[in-house]
Amino acid sequence: MSHRPPPAAGLTVAPLTAEQIEGVLTDVFTRGTRCRLLDTGTDGCPAPHGHPQWLLAELGDTRVTGACHGGRWTRSDTLTEPPPTAPTLDPGTDRWRILEVLVFGPRAQIRIGEAAEAGWISADAPTAPPAWLRPRDRSLLLQGWNGPDHSRTLDRRAHLSVAREPGGSEAVLPVEWADFSGRHRLLPGGRTALESEGTWLTLREYWASDPGTGAVGVAFHRLTGLTSGPKPTGPLIDAGTGDDLPPEP
């Protein structure tokens, strides 16, 4: 029996060198410029150029989020409203503060681990997996109280908003804010679907099949973006039962 999990189908992952990790942290936190490695990828994991980039960083004393839709980052730790709760990360002296840094776009993700001692880049594999193991795109609703007094966009040009969570804490999100709402839509056959709008974190799930048992499960997920508006991925929900509805032909 092997205790190593089976590889995720349709995924390629490549480790980063110390120099590449240094370059990512320097671009994002020191220069505040577009992450070059996320645009170029590596020899074992190519990535296309020109897509939006996002940052989710978990530090020991704070969280830092950011968006880069052009050449420069707008990060939560450089805002004046709300005031930063901890000093900006200095990659030269503060690596001990890092728990996890995720820099990602629609086609690739970079993950830097604790204290920046290791890092990886992941993307779709060049060859497609079997249809029954094809990756699945999902979208997760970001919570925040509705209404401009609670959750709002700070600056649409900067793609940053503040959301107050039900517990009372606030989060700076690297996306324009949209309150959650839903409406009913009649479908053929008399069923009613619930269509929802809001603010979403999108991701891609990769599946793996156990060679011994044939069991299939999610083995890896890669963040792909943040967006607001209609739910960007399925499934539709039956408004009466809460069941998933099959895609429309």
Predicted local distance difference test score (pLDDT) of residue 1: 41
3-state helix, strand, coil in the chain (%, to 5): 10, 45, 45
125: helix, strand or coil = coil
Report the distance separating Cα 248 and Cα 142, nearest Å.
26
Reading the chain (249 residues) residue by residue, the pLDDT tens digits are 455 778 899 999 999 999 999 999 999 999 999 999 999 888 877 777 778 999 999 999 889 999 999 899 999 888 766 666 678 899 999 999 999 999 999 999 999 999 999 999 999 998 889 998 999 999 999 888 888 888 888 877 878 898 887 777 888 899 999 998 877 777 777 777 778 889 999 999 999 988 878 788 899 999 999 999 988 887 777 666 767 766 665
Q: Show the CA angle centred on residue 21, arms to residues 13 and 7, nearest 5°.
A: 15
Q: Identify residue 132 by its one-letter amino acid code.
A: W
Q: Radius of gyration (Cα) for the chain, nearest Å?
A: 20
- For residue 83, which of 179, 145, 154 has the smallest C-alpha distance? 154
Predicted local distance difference test score (pLDDT) of residue 245: 67
Question: CB neighbours (10 Å) of residue 190?
Answer: 6
Q: Could you tell me the pTM of the whole model?
A: 0.89
| Bridge-based pairing state of the strands 216-230 and 236-238 | unpaired
